[in-house]
Amino acid sequence: MKFGTRIIHNGHEVDPHTKAVGVPIHQVSTFNQDSLDHFGKYDYARSGNPTREALEETVTLLENGTQGFAFASGMAAISSILLLFSPGDHLVVCDDVYGGTYRVLTTLFSRLGIDVSFVDTTSLAEIRKAIRPNTRGLYLETPSNPLLKITDLAGVAGIAREHGILTLVDNTFMTPYLQRPLDLGCDIVLHSGTKFLNGHSDVICGFAVVGDPGLAARIGFMQNSFGAILGPQDSWLVLRGLKTLKVRMEESQRGALAVVDWLCRQEKVIEVFYPGLATHPGFSIQQTQAAGPGAVLSFTVATIELTRRLLEELTLAAFAVSLGGVESIISYPAKMSHAAMPRDEREARGITDTLVRLSVGLEDPGDLIADLDRVLNR
């Protein structure tokens, strides 16, 4: 079955008990047990809840994994998964990693004795150079945030296998509709489901999906022990949002391509970052490892004043943190996603004061362009 069919016919399209054409919200914390000798499949809802389980199975199916785990936020998923590592371990992390991931690595996990090197992972040679005898994980985002840099996932997975290292990929920007890291040989896929997976800017959630059953058992233990699980109401909302993932991604990407084409022709736009541009250094890798460039782009403009006007005066894009909603969202990485990064670190990574990130929603692309034109060129 093709992706579009699997989203809808995900094994949970009919409730077996009532024949309802949807998953019930099991708003409970505990489950009655019939026998002292045999406890049922569910005992306590931190360990398992049928609504959350339906969502976990659906995301696993879409990522071609064997098991998936839903968490209370993307950061809860990422932080829980980082508990796979121990004091003395070293991680190689892409250098424009999500600001929250940067923060948790450099302030919390560093205290627990986990050492990190931030590396330009677009270069496999740089990754090889950064690997030490105690390196246990390679942590990637591709396209990265906010500069949309592309890392060769199959290439990295090959290096990781040579060294017996885990490859972790934050797949938030692409979603499994456009890119499936497990198919490319990576070990763990992470998501902020808050973004495109849920897609409606009304839930905070996160996921981890794996292929290896041994790894799945370890993560299941951590999810239950650490306890940062997603609740049943939110699980249901994400199940609902996921049903339109394919059409939302297709339409948002179509809009992004139109906006990028227009931005590239504007005098006041200095540089456009989008992996769908033939001039993007990662263009050909993106074409081989993903089904499209996605719906997020970044660009720099001529002045700080113009940057401010774009953020404050666009009417069709919310000026907000986040991305991947049905509404377009414009954000300012320097003070939003990367506020946790020291200024010199941030500027060294190219996240300057005139950089804005645009997540293209489902508005008509012509209307979005007219709105941008009004603010940029008035």
Ligand X SMILES: *Cc1c(COP(=O)(O)O)cnc(C)c1O
Contacts with ligand X, residue ranges (CB under 6 A): 73-75, 98, 100, 141, 145, 170, 172, 192, 194-195, 204, 206
In the complex, least distance from residue 170 CB atom to ligand X, rounded to whole angstroms: 5
Active-site residue (options: 98, 102, 274, 332): 98
Query: Judged by CB, which is closer to ligand X: 97, or 127?
Result: 97
Q: Looking only at Cα atoms, what is the longest distance across the chain?
A: 75
- For the residues of 5-32, what is the DSSP string, one character each? HHHHSSS-SS-TTT--SS------SB--
In the complex, least distance from residue 21 CB atom to ligand X, rounded to whole angstroms: 29
- Rounded to 10 degrees, the C-alpha dihedral 243/58/53/84 comes to -130
Active-site residue (options: 136, 149, 180, 195): 195
Query: Judged by CB, which is closer to ligand X: 94, or 131?
Result: 94
CA distances from 339 to 99, 100, 320, 344 (A): 7, 9, 13, 12
Query: Judged by CB, which is closer to ligand X: 106, or 266?
Result: 106
Is 195 known to be catalytic? yes
**Element housing 55 (H / E):** helix 50-62
Is 349 known to be catalytic? no
**Element housing 91 (H / E):** strand 90-94
Is 46 known to be catalytic? yes
Q: Is the Cα torsion angle 157, 162, 163, 165 positive or negative in sign?
A: positive
Residue closest to ligand X (Cβ): 74
Active-site residue (options: 152, 170, 187, 371): 170
Q: Which two tokens stand for residue 111?
A: 């205290």
In the complex, least distance from residue 196 CB atom to ligand X, rounded to whole angstroms: 9
Active-site residue (options: 6, 15, 42, 46): 46
Query: Judged by CB, which is closer to ligand X: 50, or 241?
Result: 241
Evaluate whether 113 touches 91 at the Cβ level (below 8 Å): no
In the complex, least distance from residue 144 CB atom to ligand X, rounded to whole angstroms: 8
Residues with catalytic function: 46, 98, 170, 195
